[in-house]
Every structure is written in structure tokens, then in C-alpha cells.
Structure 1
Amino acid sequence: IGQRRETRTIFKRPGDGGYVMQLERRGYVKAGHWTPEAAVEHPEAVRQLHREFLRAGANVIQTFTFYCSEDKLEISGNVSNIFGAQINEAACDLAREVANEGDALVAGGVSQTPCYVESHSETEVKAIFKKQMDDFLKKDIDFFIAEYFEHVEEAVWAVEVLKTSSKPVGATLCISPQGDMNGVPPGECAVRLVRAGADIVGINCHLDPLTCIRTVKLMKAGLENAGLKAHLMIQPLGFHTPECNHTGYLSLPEFPFALETRAMTRWDVHQYAREAYDAGIRYIGGCCGFEPYHIRAIAEEVSAERGFLPPASEKHGLWGAALGMHTKPWVRARAHREYWEKLLPASGRPKCPSMATTAE
């Protein structure tokens, strides 16, 4: 990707919904709005998250610009004195500052717009993406990510705009194996995105990692059947969502304030990273619910392929090796991979239902 490296494997930190959810939990973002004005109002909070993900092993620092279109900011009503250009430029500066502290690229992110659902005007929607793109190009980001699209048509419009620049473009949809909100199958979605010019295609958010892998595999098959090639990427939820289907975790009664009991363990993420890598996916990361230790788990799982471990892994070793020095013998017995791979974690909550009744 980009001019800085001929070949590389990208392992991305959660830069969209993941940032929004983390910053909401820390008191910097309002739930429901999920807009990124914290890049201007609380840059130290965003900068610290960037550094945590970089230290955990991220190769890409994505700008904290999720939902940063003027129409979304206006609807949210909580950023009357902060405009999209201010957020975009501040977010680019923060991402570049931290990326330069390590060996990381900067990705400028755009996402779905309220305008698409309201008007379906290609001209209006593309004008929004063009405005965001121009802000990013002023800061010379390394590549673009068009993410969190429920309708492939809107994602195609985003790709077409972003490809007018000289930058590579990745495009991800927040869809299930059943397809986008109009029923377009994942394979066809991938074909449309690549034909629009996307260099990388994949899935992000809404569903758990193994479900998202299934969807990316369908996209891969669609590209192969069409004789097209593109890199594959994946940024799933950091939560277990077995009850969900088309609409994803938004339909869970726990969304958004009681999702902690659904959190993926780092050992779940090891499994996910291995399955994603074995499926041919080389841009592996996470979205809502992914924390730095989850990204560290990805980096540790594929450390042999990458050729190194991240700084955050230096103290404890792989698979809990440091537990071998514990004073309790039953804890020392957990200092190996087999224990954690076979573990069936308990929720610890009395009367916990194994599943929830969704709002669908």
C-alpha cells in the first residue's frame, strides 16, 4: 500500500466504531450521535488511543473521522461550533503525529451519510465525499478507507470519488453473509467495489469476527468467479453476536451500554486472526469493542508471518508464558496455548441467559 513500502501485511487497529465506542466509555463521545468532535475538543484522548494501538502492533493509524460528514454533524446537533473540515484536519494531524512514532501508515476514513438514505442523490452524496477527500489530501494521508456502508451503491459512489485522487482505496461494508440492505449478495458487492476502483475490499462492524470471515470468503469467491483481484480486509466487532443476522448488534438489547459481557477474549481474537489469515485476508483488524489488547493478540498470533512482536508483548510473552513463574501451581498450569484454546469462559453473571431476544 502506498509508496512507502513495496509489500507488507497490514494489521489495523480499530479506527472507526472502535474509537467511537472507546471514547464514549471514557466520556468524550456521545452515544447515539457517535460523531468524532473529540479530535478537536479532546485531542489528548484521541492521541493516547492512537499510541496504545500503535504500541499493540497496529501498522495503520486511521483518522478519527467516523460519521464526519456535514449532514451527519448537523443532524447530531452537538457540534454547532465545530465543522467537518476542522475535525478532518485535526484528526489527520493526530494520526500522522502518532504514526511517525512508529512504522505506521495513515488512512483517511469516510463512512455512510444520512444524505444517501434521505435523497439517494448521487450528486449530493458524492459532493460530501469530495469535500472530505479534499480535507485529507491537504494532509497527504497514505490511503483512503471507505467504511461502514450498509448499501453497496453508496460505497461504490465513495470509491469512485476517492479514486479521483492518486491514493489507494479500501472499501468495507457492514453487511452479513445475506448481503447488503437491498439484498445484494457479498460476492456481487465485492465485484461492484473492485470495478469502481477499490484496491482492497472487505467487511467491518455489525457482526462478530467469525461471521465476518464468512462474508469476506463470499466476497473473495465472487471476485474469483468474475476474474477480478483485490486485497481482502476485515474489521469485525469485538463482541459475540450469535443471535444477530442482517441488522447485526444494533438489534441486541444490550446495545450500546451493556455489551461488556459479550466481549471477545484475547484468545478468541487469536482464533479469529488465524482463521482470517488462513482465508487469505491480509488486512486484519477490528471495529467496535476492539481494544489495544485485542490488536496485540492479532499481532502475536501472526508474529511468525510478520517476523516480530509488538512492544506491548515484550513483558508477558506468548500465550501467558509469564504465568509459569506464578506461586500457585494451578495458575502455572495455564502458561501454555492448549489451556487457553480449550477454555470455555463463563460469564460470571448469575441467571445469565445464553442468548438474548433481539429487536428484529
Structure 2
Amino acid sequence: MSKTTAQKKGLLERLKEGPVVGDGSMCMTLEKRGYCRAGQWTPEAVLEYPDAVKQLLREYLRAGADVLQTPCYASSDGRLKRANITYTTAELNEAACEMAHEIAQEGNALVCGGLTPVMSYSKGEDETIVRGEFESQLAGFIKRRDIIDFILAEFFGYIGELEICVDVMKKAKMPIACTMRIGPLGDLNGVSVEECAVRMAKTGADLIGINCLFDFDTCLKTLKRMRDALDKEGLKTPLMCQPLGWRCPETTNTKKGYLLLPEFPFALESRQVSRFEVHKFAREAYNLGARYIGGCCGMEPHHIRAIAQEVIKTF
């Protein structure tokens, strides 16, 4: 059944009605299960181990996620080439679309097409090359717009790169969300949290926020600064937050977050958050204005269930 015949409510409609729950960790969790290579985090598992990827998506759906993201993080031309992956961005993204759609149909979940940063930007290459990489990622989502409900630019470290990406994403004529991997020090060029928030909102994205690199406490502090900056400018763009599932308070005043931990990436289990901590985080994020709450690396299905229990049943 297509999303049209099912008359499924879209992202913007759901945000008006109440909180939306995102899904959680894909690459890190698949690596622990034996289906990804640590350090590369490229998405070839969608083609090589589709049953394993579908099972993880299904667990997030059953845990209460309202959105399943296409499992294609790092599916960009430069990243795949660096990792010696022979699959193309188009092949991986299309397979990821089909997979997320198939599992979403088992419930009432939305499908989110995910775009990620490109190496050409950090290398300082011409903007036309940067745009070309984003267009390559976006092409698969435009092709399968019949099964994609909205698109998300995630894990951006530079606000300038994110602005280019969102501009390209507008070609899809779908709702747009975007997140940055920033903490108190702002982006990788030192642009403040406040300026990043305002510039993100002014891209015209429908939903903005933060994901990955930092733990609950740091993300909540950053989220508050974003909310205050938006309020000061009279901007009403809804916020989203998808943090780590590990405690790493010693990385708060860094730009690389948990990537600096000696336990990264193979020994983070002792830092795993509990469900009680997730309940508390979800409530505080909601109170700060986050209307889309999910998880990133380390946030497992049981953590997503805790978010759903907290914000959907009691908001």
C-alpha cells in the first residue's frame, strides 16, 4: 500500500499534533552485530546484509519510532571511494529507500531520506563539486519520492556546508530537516551555537537541531542556547535532538565529542545510558522545545522505547 492510499499523516502535520519520535543507532549497532566495519561506517550492509538491516529497522519501529531513516549514512561519492566501496551512491540510497519503506509499512512510520556531509567541502573544493555530491545523494530520494516522506541533512560540522546542502535539498520539494554535530564551542570553524541556529532556521528548513558527538547533558545545554537564539530573532522553526547513547561529560568543551574517548569505538559499553536517563532526557528536551526526539550512535531500540513512552504517552 502506498503512502497516498494509506493517507498517512506527514511530518509537518504530526509535528503540529505532538512530539515525533525518531529512530536510533544504525552503523554502530550493525558493527556490534558483525555487519559493518568500525571506522568506515559506510552503508554497504544495505546491499550485502539486507535482512540484518531490516531487522534493526523493525526493532526501532516496534519500540515506538514514528520515523525510520534510510540506512545510508556516509553514502556519498567521496566517502565511498575513500573506503574502497565499489557500490554507487545511487545503488545504496535506492536500496535504503526500499528497505525503510518496506519496514515502515508494517506500522505507521514515516520514511526519512538522509543526506550526510561530503569530503569535497572539508577539502576546500569548488562549490560546484560540493553541490554535485549533494545532488548525487539527493537523486535517489527524488526518484523514490513516492515512498519518501521527508529528507534530513545530518551530522554537519560546518554551517556553511549545511546551507549549501539545504539549498540543494529544496529541489526535492519535500519537507526538510537538518541537524549539526555541535556542542558549546559551535561549529568546526568556531561559528557560535546561536549563529548556527539562526542560520539553520533561515535556510527555510522545516525542522532544525543537533545530533551525535555529545551526550544528553551537553545536548540539552546546546539545545537551550539554540532555542533562546531563535526566540530572540522571532524564529519559530521547530527543534529536533538526536544525541548519543553514551555518557561523555569530559568531552563537552571540545569539537570532536566522544570521538576523543579512549574507549572509542570498541569499548563504550561502560558508558551506556540507562532507560531512566533516557526518560529524563526526553522530558527535558521536550520542555526545551524539541518536538522531534530520537537517538544517534549508541541509542538502541530499548532507548527509543523509553523516549516513546515518555513523550508520546504523557506529553
Name the TM-score, length of structure 1 as normaliser. Answer: 0.81
Match in the other structure for 2:6: none
- The alpha carbon displacement at 1:258 in A equals 0.5
- The alpha carbon displacement at 1:302 in A equals 2.0
Give per-residue Cα distances to partners, 1:45-100, cap 9 Å, x unaligned: 110001000000000000011010011000011x22x1111100000000000111
Distance 1:127 1:225 in 2: 35
Which structure would you say has the larger RCO, counting Cα contacts within 8 Å and 6 or more residues apart? 2
Match in the other structure for 1:122: 127
Question: In the TM superposition, what are the counterparts of 1:32-111 in structure 2 within 5 Å?
Answer: 32-77=39-84, 79-80=85-86, 82-111=87-116
Give per-residue Cα distances to partners, 1:219-249, cap 9 Å, x unaligned: 1111111221201000000000011022200
Question: In the TM superposition, what are the counterparts of 1:1-360 in structure 2 within 5 Å?
Answer: 1-2=10-11, 7-14=17-24, 18-77=25-84, 79-80=85-86, 82-140=87-145, 141-244=148-251, 245-246=253-254, 247-305=256-314
Percent identity of equivalent pairs: 49
Aligned length: 301
Greater than 6 Å deviation, 4+ residue runs: none
Distance 2:312 2:122 in 1: 42
Q: Secondary structure at the match of 2:123?
A: helix
Distance 1:4 1:226 in 2: 24
Match in the other structure for 1:313: none
Evaluate the alpha carbon distance shift between residue 164 and residue 7 of structure 1 in structure 2; reply closer, same or farther with a 3 A threshold: farther
Name the TM-score, length of structure 2 as normaliser. Answer: 0.92
Q: Secondary structure at the match of 2:171?
A: coil
Distance 2:96 2:13 in 1: 21
CA-atom RMSD, angstroms? 1.4
- The alpha carbon displacement at 1:184 in A equals 0.7
Distance 1:8 1:43 in 2: 33
Larger radius of gyration: 1
Q: Letter of the aligned partner of 2:249 in structure 1?
A: P
Q: Letter of the aligned partner of 2:299 in structure 1?
A: F
Distance 1:130 1:190 in 2: 24
Give per-residue Cα distances to partners, 1:4-37, cap 9 Å, x unaligned: 75634210012xxx20000111111111111001
Distance 2:310 2:19 in 1: 13
Query: Retained in 2: the 8 A contact 1:69–1:128?
Result: yes
Distance 2:182 2:274 in 1: 23
Give per-residue Cα distances to partners, 1:126-170, cap 9 Å, x unaligned: 111111111111111110110001111111111111122211111
Evaluate the alpha carbon distance shift between residue 2 and residue 270 of structure 1 in structure 2; reply closer, same or farther with a 3 A threshold: closer
Unaligned regions of 5+ residues in structure 2, if any?
1-9
Unaligned regions of 5+ residues in structure 1, if any?
307-360
